[in-house]
Structure 1
Amino acid sequence: MRWIAAFALLVLATPASAQEWVPQRAARLQALDKVTARVTILEARVGSSVTFGSLTINLRSCYGRAPDEVPDAAAWMEMTDSRARPEAPPAFHGWMFANAPGVNMLEHPVYDIRVLECR
């Protein structure tokens, strides 16, 4: 539910003329392995999944701003960890925002995932 409130705040705080989110087909994600400090750029298509370490990242939706507006991206993702117990909830599900990564983020001891852009 945090993501609904976060998305609503971003929309309400933006002038009406700048609220155009354009659906996109893919996302560029930045993945960090906190143990090795390895940063990897991942490409994910809407409706498909990519893996990073023990995480499986399912990209459900991705929106970007119109070309004549300030660049931003919002992606709806669900992440599961293959090392988690079978009955455990997903490691993450919800919206992530490129310009506000702290609003709704993956809380994982080993990995960090951020949205860079939707295209």
Structure 2
Amino acid sequence: MRLAFALTMLLCGSAAAQQAVDKGTGAVLRGLDKVGGHVVDMTLRNGESSSLGRLTVRLGECRYPEGDPAADAYAFLTVEEEGHEAPVFQGWMIASSPALNAMEHARYDVWVMRCKTD
């Protein structure tokens, strides 16, 4: 519950902390297979998905501070695992603070690197 509150406060913030955002056309995500030590970068457009071992990673959308696509990105991800009905992760992930709302999985790790623009 505290994590949800912290994430809400981070994304919404006070009026002084709020800033306008732009929507990217996609994102670059990084995936790690902790067992094999394999790292893979996934470039996805909004709405696309990619595989990482037994996982399917789907990008909802990526956002970044208005006019600064090189700045901190945050992306809405849904991660599903073969043989599991419910997603193993669904929510916003922030590039500069991946541990704030991290995917908890024994074998795989996924995080946001940056948004893509056309």
Q: Give TM-score scaled by structure 2 length.
A: 0.84
| 3-state SS of paired residue (1:79) | strand
CA contact 1:72–1:97 (8 Å) conserved in 2: yes
Q: Structure 2: which 5+ runs fail to align?
A: none
Alignment-mate amino acid for residue 62 of structure 2 = C
Q: Deviation at 1:2?
A: 6.5
Q: What residue is the counterpart of 1:39 in the other structure? A: 39
Aligned length: 115
Give me the whole-angstrom Cα distance separating, in 2, the residues matched to 1:30 and 1:101: 11
Give me the whole-angstrom Cα distance separating, in 2, the residues matched to 1:67 and 1:95: 21
Runs of 4+ in 1 over 3 A off after TM superposition: 1-4, 13-16, 67-70
Q: Give TM-score scaled by structure 1 length.
A: 0.83
Q: What residue is the counterpart of 2:73 in the other structure? A: 73
Alignment-mate amino acid for residue 49 of structure 1 = S
Give me the whole-angstrom Cα distance separating, in 2, the residues matched to 1:69 and 1:41: 18
Alignment-mate amino acid for residue 57 of structure 1 = V
Q: Structure 1: which 5+ runs fail to align?
A: none
Share of identical aligned residues, percent? 34
Alignment-mate amino acid for residue 13 of structure 2 = L
Give me the whole-angstrom Cα distance separating, in 2, the residues matched to 1:92 and 1:9: 20
Which residue, out of 101, 104, 110, partners 1:104?
101
